[in-house]
A and B are shown apart, each in its own frame.
Chain A
Amino acid sequence: MTLTSADIRNLRLQRLLGDIAVPFTHVFLSLASRYFGYRFRDLEAFRRKVWKALDGHDGPVIWAANHLTLWDSFVIFWAVFPLLRTLEGRRLPWNTPEHTNYYRNGGWFKCRVIRVFMYLCRCIPFLRGGEDEFSVQWRQIAFEKCVWVLSEGGTVFVFPEATRARNGWFEADKPKDFLGSLCVRVPRAKVLCLYLRGEGQAGTTSYPAWGETFRMDAELWDPATGPASTARSIAAGLFTRVGALQEAWFSASTLLKNCSGNDIVDLKGHLLREHFSDDLLDIDPEWAGRLLTSKELEYLGARPAAELFSTFWRFHAAKEAASKALAQAGVKVLPGGFSTIEVDLFQNRARHLPTLLECRLRFTDDDADKIHCVAVLRGGRIGDDSEPGDVLWKVAEVPPGESGSGFCRDLALDLIAESSDDISPASLSFTEIDDIPRVMRAGKPQDWGVSISHAGRYVACSFMVS
């Protein structure tokens, strides 16, 4: 598909008007940023680094950044651009917002005001949903517009994930091809990989919190496209680089990077059967209704009756494990507030409804006696039967006469020590910081996403090696 001459004329006009408007837009964003109390750590050093790299490249640039809030484009633009640089029209990024998020808001007047603003901010709206002919064609035209901008030596700003990360984590191992396709079409383009995040940004929100402090880093990457390059190979390289920026960001953050939890259920525990009929084929609906969401109840009802008991407790283990992973990210689930977490046992995901943060789940030791579930919110991969992830775990029976909680802690420390030749169990100990269990080594609390669980005859522990 190629752009018509009218399309190109319109893009040129938009570019001209955007050039004229950008100093005003910049002042507006500066005022808005001040109004919301936003602060940018080491802003000058960041700008110097970015502009040194950009000034050394006389060609098109694709900005690729992580995506957590609807205001990311504005915040990143403001972080990168000092006012005087806005006079360099070629460097001003064209944005690629989702059409339904910005172009259909409010009544007649407000809708038009927003549209004009987005137009002057050089936006090329995308329609990411829908596989009908209209939506597909829209995407193709929008893609061609981006190619045109780049082939003119301009700059395009794309969020490579194409959506806000529901777990608040840029998943470097899940590349999407769009940006790679752009690089294939415009081989001269370099990619400005960016990672910007508020210090208190646990997950996805509509906008950053008032008074938020941002930290950011960037790297100009040359995909060096050759005959063997594919959209996927370039995208994979790009995702790896943004992922590395994310790692660096977390290493300087007070937020924990590795957030995971686990839970063990002893299926023979007598209290577990209390709300089931003697044959375990029926469940007390009032009790179940307090612990499960309506979707979960629907799923439970659709399972064969013989699986009712174990399915209910799988839900429960998943919720408990997810609540521990969420707590490590600073999102505390109220004790017993399990109806605020919705588990999808088919997709193996648990979603915290108030924040929409999503954990990946894995059931490891799952038999007639017990269920063990591990949940990972961020920091690494959960893995599966064919590919090991970044979580290690162990399940064991409590020896007679031993305290479950003490044995569980020792089991966790032994497991961590076993995973590395450099660590001895005695060099580790448990503490608790902000109600989260942490393992200390050489006097320092470690970011290992440690979790322990005890139920009846069993204990289990897990931690992350990422």
Chain B
Amino acid sequence: MAFKRKETTVEAVDLSTITPEDAQTRIIAGVKKYATNEANWSKADRNTPYLGHITGMGIESANLADITMSIERQFLTKKTKKVPVALKGSPSGGGSETEFTLEDGDLGKLRILEGQDSVMATPGLTIQKLMELGHLPTNASYLDGTASFATIVSVGAGHRLTDALRKTALRMEKSQPAEKTEARANLESLIKQARDFETLLGDPAALAASKQGDFQTDKNSLEALTHELSIVNEKLKGVTSSDDPSRSTSLRAEESQIRTRIRMMRQKLTVSEETARGAGVRKSVDTAKFQEVRALLAETIKLAVEALAQVPAGC
């Protein structure tokens, strides 16, 4: 079987022997073919998002698995020994193929486990995660220059809102006189939304509070799933010897399915927790990113208000 990706031969290097900056250069080069926004890719740094067309490299979410595999192909690590994770409440107490961590072993191919790439939204965050997982030594000065996941998410939303505001102003200018009233109402509404968001971005505590919603939803979902697991366990306790053997088998299958769902939900909770927690904490690089997008929003709001003034109310 000849897969096209194998045509590109990459010499993998030991992550512990290179600097984070070198790793970053390799990561950015590795995702080049998936990037659809060449301009943004060519000037990409540690804080350039992989996804998104406005400030990101324009990589499609369909290619996220490719990014992960591209990173894996380029690096070697000593964290290669699989250690099963004991499952809380599991009758066997053991792990499964999908629930293990990687500990020190022989030098081998880097493996990014399911869910570990969830917050790898930029090259810098990718390296930060690799550091957290112990694949390369922690480098505080590199991390100081890496914007947080929460920042990337909020700043991205700010850029998209700026874009929407600009386009709505343009639509209003182009609209026919009979359509101006509704077009004006849209622009007014969007200006208000943009102002509110600009204020929110300037208030770390309020931003963190606004991100609590997703976190709470995921937390509730995880609790509900844990409860479902306990219900199935209770049902298993209620299985008697006179029961149809298929009942026990079916309950065991249900138990296994819920455990998988819990694992998936935990991964999601990790991301929403990270977003909620990080939204309230800003390093200087985060502050700069927020200032940049707030300035852009403020400028676009100003232009939109000027456009609005050209169209009298009730027109």
Contacts and interface: CB of A to CB of B under 8 A. Distances in A.
Interface of A: 70, 100, 104-107, 110-111, 200, 202, 205-207, 209-210, 271, 273-278, 282, 284, 286-287, 290-291, 316, 320, 330, 332, 334-337, 339-340, 353-356, 405-406, 409, 424, 426-433, 435, 440-445, 455
The 9 closest A-B pairs by CB, nearest first: A336-B64, A443-B185, A427-B182, A426-B175, A443-B189, A104-B238, A426-B179, A209-B220, A105-B234
Contacts of B268: 332, 334, 337, 340, 354
B186 A443 contact: yes
Interface residues of B, number: 67
Given A276-B4, A335-B118, A431-B193, 8 more contacts: A110-B234, A207-B227, A274-B3, A354-B264, A406-B167, A431-B190, A435-B157, A440-B189
B217 interface: yes
B61 A429 contact: no
A107 B238 CA distance: 5
Given A105-B231, A111-B238, A200-B220, A340 B264 contact: yes
Contacts of A206: 224, 227-228, 231
13 contacts: A105-B237, A106-B238, A110-B237, A206-B224, A210-B223, A271-B33, A271-B34, A278-B4, A426-B182, A429-B164, A429-B167, A429-B168, A442-B182
Contact of A353 (B1, B193, B261): B261
Contacts of B188: 443
A320 B61 CA distance: 9
Contacts of A291: 65
B3 A330 contact: no
Interface in B209-225: 214, 217, 220-221, 223-225
B93 to A, nearest CB: 20
A305 to B, nearest CB: 12
Contacts of A278: 2, 4
B174 interface: yes
B186 A432 contact: no
B171 interface: yes
Contacts, number: 170
Given A111-B238, A336-B64, A442 B5 contact: no
A428 B187 CA distance: 10
A371 to B, nearest CB: 12
Interface string B249-261: 0000000000011
A274 B31 CA distance: 13
Given A286-B69, A354-B225, A336 B61 contact: yes
B69 A334 contact: no
Interface residues of chain B: helix, strand, loop or mixed (majority):
helix
B302 interface: no
Contacts of A355: 221, 261
A314 B201 CA distance: 39
Contacts of B172: 426
B238 A205 contact: no
Q: Which of B175, B190, B193, B224 has the most CB of A within 10 A?
A: B224
Contacts of A428: 186
A426 B168 CA distance: 9
Contact of B186 (A104, A273, A274, A427): A427
Contacts of B182: 424, 426-427, 441-443
B168 A431 contact: yes
Given A210-B220, A334-B271, A353-B261, A442 B118 contact: no
B101 interface: no
B267 interface: yes
Contacts of A430: 164, 167-168
A104 B235 contact: yes
Contact of B235 (A105, A330, A356): A105
A41 B185 CA distance: 32
Interface string B123-166: 00000000000000000000000000000000001001100100
Contacts of A354: 221, 225, 261, 264-265, 268
Contacts of A432: 157, 160-161, 164
Nearest to A263: B62
A459 B4 CA distance: 27
A455 B36 CA distance: 11
A71 to B, nearest CB: 11
Contacts of A205: 221, 224, 228
Contact of A290 (B1, B65, B237, B239): B65
B60 interface: yes
